[in-house]
Amino acid sequence: MKITRDAVWHTTKDYSIITLGLIFYAVGFCGFILPHGVITGGLAGIAALIFFKTGIPVAYSFYTLNIILLSIAYRIVGRGFVLKTIYGASGLSLFMLIAQMFFKSHPVYLEHDILLSCIIGAVLCGVGTGLAFTHNGSTGGTDIVAAMVSKYRQISVGRMILYVDLFVISSSYFIKYNIEPVVYGYVVLIFLSYMCDMVVNNNKQAVQFSVFSKKWSAIATAVNAEMHRGCTILEGTGWYTKQEVKMLLIFSRKSEALQVYRIIYSIDPNAFVSQGNVNTIYGEGFDKSKVKAKIRDLKDGGTGQPHQP
């Protein structure tokens, strides 16, 4: 199998952004949440409980628990996700170990404002989780469970994490018998889930371009060659000029919008372009629909009526 330059670039970009997400998460968790004794959800929360009870660094127990989940996830979410998650779980364990030692001697959390400290930590953790997910990676923990469920069900990643983690946080009360850290844990969970969804959904958002230009053929060819995006050519009539025109219909990721504009106006500075936001696109080159269609037994002339035995 030939490895192309684009494949190397995309792989390098994916792992670089996943690494950035891991750093965000480690700083948020070890720098702003853990010092207050707040129990969060997922494996990080379980690892924190182990740390408070035994003194074992969160990185060690976090990594061990991740290995167990990954062995289950391999057949469900695929080899690519698992490999990136092994990288994510290993990297996050390392960054958490470094961060925990660093913040122990250089505390940055807000000692007299637990709520604000938890919010800052949750935002950093949520952004980190979202960055990892948008590049088919994971920070480990309940992200793995969320990825397995969201692969087959139309449910957001952040919401799935919310459901799973609520159970972990609620259970922590019976270990510490103190309601205050549990409440702060809920606050962290809500902000983390919201930020994760915001990052993921912003990355998925698409845009639609309607392009009117006499150089439509050159623009379509350039978009296809440089961006590997398809173009649909529609026939129309300009009512002002009473002349037939061709309109290009182009769909792309929101992050690719600037590149589309550059291609269009480098070929035709006088092109007429309109842009509209599209929440989600399902199909080749975009997202895959997770809604399973029910297949009916269409017999008796394809009427759709149930077949009588």
- Cβ within 8 Å of residue 24, ≥6 positions away: 124, 125, 127, 128, 131
Domain boundaries, the chain: 5-203, 205-309
Contact (Cβ atoms closer than 8 angstroms) between residue 104 and residue 12: no
CA torsion 86→101→133→66, rounded to 10°? 40
User: Looking at residue 117, what is its pLDDT?
Assistant: 92
CA distance to 15, 226, 250, 285, per residue, from 230 (Å): 27, 11, 7, 9
Report the distance separating Cα 287 and Cα 228, nearest Å: 16
User: Looking at residue 286, what is its pLDDT?
Assistant: 62
User: Looking at residue 298, what is its pLDDT?
Assistant: 39
User: Looking at residue 3, what is its pLDDT?
Assistant: 67
Report the distance separating Cα 170 and Cα 163, nearest Å: 11
pTM for this predicted structure: 0.69
Low-confidence residues in the chain, pLDDT < 50? 1, 293-309
Burial grade of 86 (CB within 10 A; 0-12, 13-18, 19 or more): middle
User: Looking at residue 28, what is its pLDDT?
Assistant: 94
Cα 303 to chain centroid distance, Å, stands at 42
Question: Where would I find the beta strands (DSSP E) of 157-222?
Answer: 206-212
Residue 170 is inside which H or E element, if any?
helix 157-176
Contact (Cβ atoms closer than 8 angstroms) between residue 125 and residue 55: no
The dotted CATH code for 205-309 is: 3.30.70.120
Tens-place pLDDT, residues 6-49: 678 778 888 898 899 999 999 999 999 988 888 888 888 888 88
Tokens 């700083």 map to which residue?
27
